[in-house]
């Protein structure tokens, strides 16, 4: 059954771009889940789609680091973990009508996995993986004296990795400007060729860069000055929230339905679906919110 058939208020249709699958495990499932259990990993992905459907999400792009779910014993591989997640997402999509695509995530501090993540993004690009991310502590990119402007030298491997991803036509999003300074956003855009920025809050510290991002319609995760943005839960199990609670909070902050409509339209435009599938998603969003189909 389609999400649009189950939701009474079509203005609730949502696009969810930034959510970590390994931060979205149901508490009731955690005790049963051990790393390396492929059946449990598939279940987590399936339940994730069910939970997204419950929050009226039409399209979702969960991300995770497959190597961190392999387990200490090494009985399974990162590829097997990725395949299990893709099976769970596909079953959930079929049962609940939510379109789900996957991002594979590098984690700063675990550079030994970077090349393998890139290869898996290439291998699974026609099987449900639509892009690559890098997350983790931006402080790992600082020098010992805290000089962030020297950090580019410490990011050379990440830069080369994302440049190769761009060469291969793999979509790219980068966690930057979350705790680190605006300079990290500039590196993500100019050196790593990021198409979206995860968080990006500290870009506000650099007025020139910020105005450039507005002009270029860089997709962020905060609302100010008409930027292209979307609301995302990130790690729902950790923060004990979901899209419904986020929307409720935003309403209390003064957001209205017109803002929600624009936000979801921009999120759909920024998603990593192939162009033909993206057009279909945009049609659904336009129909739900009464937009003319001019995109």
143, 182 in Cβ contact below 8 A?
A: no
Tokens of 6: 């189950």
Residue 10 has pLDDT above 70, yes or no: no
**How sure is the predictor about 146, in pLDDT bands with cuts at 50, 70 and 90?**
very low
152, 184 in Cβ contact below 8 A?
A: no
Say which residue, 153 or 186, is predicted with more confidence. 186
Q: Which residues have C-beta within 8 Å of that of residue 31, sequence separation ≥ 6?
A: none
Place of tokens 């966690």: 175
Domain ranges for the chain: 11-147+228-289
> Catalytic residue among 178, 221, 275, 293, which?
178
Distance (Å, rounded) from C-alpha 201 to C-alpha 178? 6
112 flagged as catalytic: no
pLDDT in tens, 220-265: 877 778 888 888 777 776 667 778 888 888 899 998 888 888 888 9
Residue 6 has pLDDT above 50, yes or no: no
> Could you tell me the end-to-end alpha-carbon distance of the chain, in angstroms, rounded to an integer?
27
Nearest to 196 by CA among 141, 295, 272: 272
Q: What is the CATH number of domain 11-147+228-289?
A: 3.20.20.140
Q: What are phi and psi of 14, to 5 degrees?
A: -135, 155
Question: Does the model's pTM come out above 0.85?
Answer: no
pLDDT in tens, 22-72: 666 666 566 455 555 899 899 999 999 999 999 889 999 999 999 988 876
pLDDT in tens, 264-273: 899 999 999 9
- Cα torsion angle, 170, 173, 176, 182, sign: positive
The whole-number pLDDT of residue 1 equals: 38
Give the bridge partners for 130, in sequence order: none
Q: Strands of 177-223 (E only): list them.
A: 196-199, 219-220
Say which residue, 91 or 229, is predicted with more confidence. 91
- Counted residue by residue, the chain has a size of 295
pLDDT in tens, 162-210: 999 999 999 999 999 888 889 899 999 999 999 999 888 899 899 999 9
Residue 275 DSSP symbol? H
Range in 98-107, 121-130, 198-207 the model is least confident about:
198-207
């Amino acid at each position: 059954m389609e999400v649009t058939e189950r939701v009474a208020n079509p203005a609730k249709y949502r696009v969810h771009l930034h959510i970590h699958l390994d931060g979205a495990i149901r508490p009731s499932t955690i005790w049963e889940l051990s790393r390396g259990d492929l059946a449990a990993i598939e279940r987590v992905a399936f339940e994730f789609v069910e939970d997204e459907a419950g929050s009226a999400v039409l399209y979702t792009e969960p991300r995770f680091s497959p190597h961190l779910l392999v387990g200490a014993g090494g009985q399974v591989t990162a590829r097997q973990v990725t395949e299990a997640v893709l099976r769970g997402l596909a079953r959930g999509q079929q049962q609940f009508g939510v379109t789900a695509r996957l991002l594979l995530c590098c984690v700063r501090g675990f550079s030994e996995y970077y090349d393998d993540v890139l290869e898996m993004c290439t291998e699974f690009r026609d099987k449900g993986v639509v892009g690559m991310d890098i997350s983790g502590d931006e402080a790992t990119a600082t020098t010992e004296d805290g000089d962030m402007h020297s950090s580019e030298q410490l990011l050379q491997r990440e830069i080369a990795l994302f440049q190769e991803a761009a060469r291969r036509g793999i979509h790219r999003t980068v966690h930057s400007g979350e705790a680190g300074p605006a300079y990290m956003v500039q590196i993500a855009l100019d050196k790593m060729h990021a198409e979206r920025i995860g968080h990006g809050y500290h870009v506000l510290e650099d007025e020139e860069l910020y105005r450039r991002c507005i002009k270029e319609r860089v997709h962020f995760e905060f609302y100010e000055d008409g930027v292209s943005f979307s609301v995302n839960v990130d790690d729902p199990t950790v923060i004990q929230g979901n899209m419904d609670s986020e929307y409720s909070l935003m309403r209390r902050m003064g957001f209205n339905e017109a803002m929600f409509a624009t936000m979801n339209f921009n999120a759909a435009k920024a998603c990593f679906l192939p162009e033909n599938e993206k057009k279909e998603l945009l049609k659904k969003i336009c129909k739900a919110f009464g937009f003319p189909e001019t995109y």
